[in-house]
């Protein structure tokens, strides 16, 4: 395969993550690629094929978004979580777009007027 040319923005992000984790950019990429889960093609084997929605596909998209955030902020521990672990531990994205696990301390906003 030919050498790959990265945009300056992407190369800068990769270098920053590598620096934060005291690893080479190649090691960071290898780790990220090791966690990559390509979207599964819709087939007759999937029970919801043809209905336009797949729970598995939706989870993969959510976990990919969470992993992209953790890679951007250099959270190596959360980047190591497998899909099975995230199935048990993932909670939601907060109002700032930060992926939250069930173990995170989160202050939920209260409705105006103090009641429901």
pLDDT tens track for 17-76: 888 888 888 888 887 877 777 765 555 455 555 556 678 888 888 999 999 999 999 999
Cα–Cα dist 11/24, whole Å: 12
Contact present, 99 and 93 (Cβ < 8 Å): yes
Query: Residues 6 or more apart from 19 whose CB is under 8 A from it?
Result: none
Tell me: pLDDT of 6 over 90. Answer: no
Tell me: pLDDT of 97 over 90. Answer: no
Is 64 buried (19+), middle (13-18) or exposed (0-12) by CB count in 10 A?
A: middle
Q: What is the pLDDT of residue 109?
A: 66
Q: Which residues share a beta bridge with 99?
A: 93
């Amino acid at each position: 395969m030919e050498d790959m040319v990265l945009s300056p923005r992407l190369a800068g992000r990769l270098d920053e993550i590598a620096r934060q984790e005291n690893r080479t950019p190649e090691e960071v990429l290898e780790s990220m690629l090791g966690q990559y889960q390509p979207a599964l093609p819709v087939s007759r084997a999937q029970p919801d094929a043809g209905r336009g929605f797949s729970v598995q596909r939706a989870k993969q998209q959510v976990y990919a978004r969470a992993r992209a955030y953790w890679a951007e902020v250099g959270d190596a521990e959360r980047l190591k979580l497998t899909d099975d672990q995230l199935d048990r531990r993932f909670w939601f994205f907060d109002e700032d777009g930060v992926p939250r696990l069930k173990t995170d301390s989160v202050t939920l906003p209260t409705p105006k007027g103090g009641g429901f």
